[in-house]
Structures are given as structure tokens and as C-alpha cells.
Amino acid sequence: MSSTLCLISSSLCLISSSLYDSGLFKGEDRTALSPTGSQSAVSPCRPESFLHRVGHREDRRTDCVSESKPSTLDEEEAEGVEQLRKNIESRLKVALPTDLGSALTDGVVLCHLANHVRPRSVSSIHVPSPAVPKLTMAKCRRNVENFLEACRRIGVPPSDLCLPLHILEEKGLPLVAGTVSALLQLAPPRHSVSTATTATPPSKQTLSVSEDL
């Protein structure tokens, strides 16, 4: 029995050695068949293709950023903004600061302008006070929305109305200028306006009612 087992084991050893020496287990075939070998053959292309895609995305992102940069006002828009300043200063007899956009963001000046065109068109205006020198965003928005609503009631066409963000975020002064211009076209003649305002000054009354404490 022991001799039989020895013969069987020696036969198995001979078979395994012959298979090892055959072409099935040569180095090049094992490399081609092994998982690590296939991954190493493919892997050099992956990082390159990934970087290629990332580069294209970065190029597109750069193009979008360059296109979204705010452009400066052209000559016509600059003239409209300057006319906006002159209209407000001449109507309200005030001197506006150099930064016109920031002077209009709280809506106070615009509400007074609407009341100048039609008295009491804005019944309540939030204005700064010595205790609260700067209005909150909520009160600024309320002033701006009241101004635009007054413009609608007075008769400004919807196509000439700017959006609240154009005033609050200083993103559309030319559009604000168009709204104010359309509003002033609906104003009565200067002499009748001056007579009405001298008789009953609405700004004083609204200031006393709506001044923030």
C-alpha cells in the first residue's frame, strides 16, 4: 500500500512539473492573464483622460467667469444715470453723494420723489434716525416696494418699472433711471407742484410717523 501511494505522489509531481514547463504558465502568459497585469496595462490612460476632462471643464468655467464679469456703463447709460441724479436733485432740492447707487438703496429718496409727484402716494416711509442711522434690509426692501407700487398706481407702464433688486443691490441704475424718468413724465407742471408742496409738506408728516427709534 505504501509503495502504491509513493508511486501516485511521484506521478502527480511529474505531471505538475510538466505543466509548469509548458507554455500555459510562461511568464508572459501569466502576466497577460493576471488581474494586476491587465490593470497596469490600462492604468496609464486613466489619469491622462481624467486630467484632460478636468482641463476642459476649467476652460469652460473660465470662459463663463469672463463672460459674467460686470461691464462698465456705456456712454448712453452713463448719461441716463447722470440725468437721474439731476432729476432727483432738482425735484427734491437735495444734493446727492457721488455714489448714487448707495444713496438710493434704502428707498427713502425714491419714496420722497414719488410723494413729490403725487402727494401721499407713499403713506409710510422708513427713515433712519439718530438712534438707528442705518435701516435694516427688510425696511429698505419695504421702502423700495412701496415706491414701485406707488409708481404703478400713478401710471408708470409695467415695461418701465425696474425690479427691487436693481435698487437694493445697485445692479441696474440705468433701469432705475428709466423708471424715474417715466414717473416724472406723469408729474404735474412745476408751478402747481411747488404750490401743493408748500401748502402741505407730506415729507415732514411721513418722517414724523415712520421715523425709526
CATH code of domain 76-206: 1.10.418.10
The pLDDT, as a whole number, for residue 201 is 44
Domain boundaries, the chain: 76-206
Give residue 85's pLDDT: 94
Residue 77: the pLDDT is 85
CA distance 173 to 78: 9
- Residue-level pLDDT at 8: 65
| Sequential pLDDT tens for the chain (213 residues) | 556 565 666 666 666 555 555 544 444 444 444 555 544 444 444 545 444 454 454 455 444 433 444 456 688 888 889 999 999 999 999 999 989 999 999 999 999 999 999 999 999 999 999 998 899 999 999 999 999 999 999 999 999 999 999 999 988 899 999 999 999 999 987 654 444 444 344 444 444 345 565
Determine contact, residues 85/96, Cβ cutoff 8 Å: yes
pLDDT value of residue 69? 41
**What pLDDT does residue 70 have?**
47
Residue 162 phi/psi, 5° resolution? Answer: -80, 175
- The confidence score (pLDDT) of residue 45 equals 47
